[in-house]
């Protein structure tokens, strides 16, 4: 994958003149003057340090505006400001191509549907290309499932991804 070598900076939407995000996934604050009870105080801009989320591993930045701090995932900041992504719940999501949640470089991010994102197997050993099929670590088998009337229907456990996909396709042909 060709990598963009020049780091570009853009104002963070909603935080113009306060913060910028780079095409490499870094965030920096800008020089500014803040009014306080005792007058005003000048702050020198600096590159912020991301904090990895303990559960997901994603880099998190806390951005402050009007005395309130809001946390943002680095990959979402990059996508919103460089890929024109509009967070919309579960319609379109930001995906790390290399599956490394800390690699927030613009060349490693892509916008995909939530369905495609959850269908991606995170296991290199049991990677598959089928929607609705995933590896169950505990059972050491593939699971086939489908959403019907907003409910997840479990179709069974299978020895290989092809069998699981066939079961899912058969269910679709017969019932939907």
In 3D, which of 119, 117, 115, 130 has the Cα closest to residue 165?
Answer: 130
The CA–CA distances, whole Å, from 95 to 15, 44, 142, 148, 151 equal 24, 33, 23, 25, 25
Domain annotation for the chain: domains and CATH numbers: 1-113 (3.90.75.20), 121-176 (3.30.730)
Q: What strands lie across the sheet with 59-65, from one edge to the other? A: 51-52, 59-65, 68-73
What tokens does 126 get?
């049991």
Dihedral angle computed from the Cα positions of residues 167, 173, 175 and 176, in that order, rounded to the nearest 10 degrees: 120
Would you write out the chain's pLDDT as a tens digit for each of its 176 residues?
Answer: 556 689 999 999 999 999 999 999 999 999 998 888 889 889 899 999 999 998 889 999 999 998 899 999 999 999 999 999 998 777 888 999 988 999 999 999 999 887 777 666 555 556 677 888 888 888 889 999 988 888 888 999 999 999 999 999 998 888 86
pTM attached to this predicted model: 0.67
Report DSSP state, residue 108.
Answer: G
pLDDT, residue 29, reads 96
């Amino acid at each position: 994958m060709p990598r963009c070598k020049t780091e570009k900076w853009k104002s963070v939407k909603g935080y113009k003149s306060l913060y910028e995000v780079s095409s490499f996934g870094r965030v920096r604050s800008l020089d500014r003057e803040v009014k306080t009870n005792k007058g005003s105080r000048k702050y020198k801009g600096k590159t912020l340090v991301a904090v990895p989320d303990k559960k997901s591993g994603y880099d998190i930045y806390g951005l402050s505006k009007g005395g309130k701090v809001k946390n943002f995932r680095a990959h979402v900041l990059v996508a919103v400001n460089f890929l024109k992504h509009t967070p919309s719940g579960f319609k379109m999501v930001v995906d790390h191509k290399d599956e490394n949640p800390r690699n927030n470089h613009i060349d490693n991010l892509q916008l995909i549907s939530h369905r495609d994102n959850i269908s991606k197997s995170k296991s290199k050993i049991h990677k598959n290309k089928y929607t609705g099929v995933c590896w169950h670590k505990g059972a050491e088998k593939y699971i086939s499932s489908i959403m019907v009337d907003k409910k997840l229907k479990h179709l069974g456990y299978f020895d290989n991804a092809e069998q699981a996909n066939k079961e899912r396709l058969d269910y679709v042909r017969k019932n939907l």
